[in-house]
Structure 1
Amino acid sequence: MVIMESGTHDCVAGHSANSIIKFADDTTVVGRITDGDESEYRREIEQLSIWCQHNNLALNTSKNKELIVDFGRSRMGTHSPVYINGLMVERVKSFKFLGVHISEDLSWSENTNSIFKKARQCLYFLRRLRRVGLSRRTLSNFYRCTVESMLTGCIVAWFGNLSALERKRLQKVVNTAQSIIGSDLPSTGLFSLEHRRPRGDLTEVSKITR
């Protein structure tokens, strides 16, 4: 991380309404468009492309995606496409950012479905481990390292906006894991999602204030 930052320290947003988020080999440009003026956002993308050229980096336009979150009266059809090196960037309704599915309407249905499916698959291995006679403590540790880590990834960002039905779907995974382990939540150290989210909030606050 230090090496990456030392080589990209000058790759920063040139406009106050924009942000450039760098993570490993992924770079995300976030622009806030006011009164339909996209000029600063588009210039930011152009400057990023120029920066990459000057630093011998190639932008693969076929892998670039653009997501527009627009709660105004205008919709996606009114926004002109973005071009990089003469090629049009694909506009999508959702994409995966650091493991989280973000949708244009900021709903979390796709993210919830993805988490639910992956977590349910891990329950199969939890059942197999129980059948071979592993202790409840070991089963609990396996749950926390696999299922719970999936259920709580970036939970402070999306859990508060879930519908009641989506919360029940995810909580059902926790309840099923509890049934497989054969112990109540307090004695196995497992947390329901309702209690896990504020716990995550406190963890983030603790990191910031240190």
Structure 2
Amino acid sequence: MQFHPAKCNTLPVTRSRRPLQPSYQLHGHTLETVKAVKYLGVTIQGDLCWDDHINNIVSKANKTLGFLRRNLKISSRSVKEQAYKAFVRPILEYASSVWDLHTQKNIDKLETAQRRAARFVCNRYHNTSSVSRMLDSLG
């Protein structure tokens, strides 16, 4: 198998505060060292934190939800629910067993996106509405 050195890079995986900085070469070219890489849709950071990945999927889910809001404004709840389950939820749940949540900050970001989607599906934007009940009704 042949590799193109310009398309290759290295990702040192460590939690050390002062990691070693070895220089790797392929066919006489020094490979670039990166702090994060996207592989199969999952952003992997060298320190094994998932902040970049969570930020990416929350942003993508919010953009998709915005698209659905603009286009399904007057649709029924069942249509909105099907659209949520087909387009938004898979973004939030993709490869979740890999990037298991380990910080409250990341949990809060994902829950905020889910709550926003639940309010859209149920068409309840009042502060007095129980979002947890809405989420339970969505399954």
Q: TM-score, normalised by structure 2?
A: 0.83
- 1:82 counterpart letter in structure 2: Y
Find the counterpart in structure 2 of residue 98 from structure 1: 40
% identical equivalent positions: 28
Find the counterpart in structure 1 of residue 88 from structure 2: 147
Find the counterpart in structure 1 of residue 120 from structure 2: 180
- 1:76 counterpart letter in structure 2: L
Q: Tell me the alpha carbon deviations over residues 55-99 of structure 1, each in whole angstroms, 9 at most, x when there is no partner.
A: xxx42211112111124576132x2x2111111111111100111
> Shift of the alpha carbon at 1:103?
0.7
- Distance in 2 (CA, whole Å) between partners of 1:73 and 1:67 is 15
Between the two proteins, the alignment pairs up a number of residues equal to 129
**Residues 177, 65 of structure 1: alpha-carbon distance in 2 compared, 3 angstrom cutoff:** same
**Residues 73, 136 of structure 1: alpha-carbon distance in 2 compared, 3 angstrom cutoff:** closer
Q: Which residue among 59, 66, 73 is the counterpart of 2:3?
A: 59
Q: Tell me the alpha carbon deviations over residues 167-209 of structure 1, each in whole angstroms, 9 at most, x when there is no partner.
A: 11111111011101117223333xxxxxxxxxxxxxxxxxxxx
TM superposition outliers: structure 1 runs of 4+ over 4 Å? none
RMSD in angstroms over aligned alpha carbons? 1.8
- Distance in 1 (CA, whole Å) between partners of 2:69 and 2:17 is 50
- Distance in 2 (CA, whole Å) between partners of 1:72 and 1:174 is 34
Which segments of 5 or more consecutive residues in structure 2 lack a partner in the other structure? 124-133
Summarize the alignment of residues 109-124 of structure 1 with structure 2, pairs less than 5 Å apart: 109-124=51-66
CA contact 2:12–2:46 (8 Å) conserved in 1? yes
Find the counterpart in structure 2 of residue 85 from structure 1: 27
Which protein has the larger Cα radius of gyration, Structure 1 or Structure 2? 1
* Structure whose residues are more often helix by fraction: 1
- 1:155 counterpart letter in structure 2: S
Which segments of 5 or more consecutive residues in structure 1 lack a partner in the other structure? 1-51, 53-57, 190-210
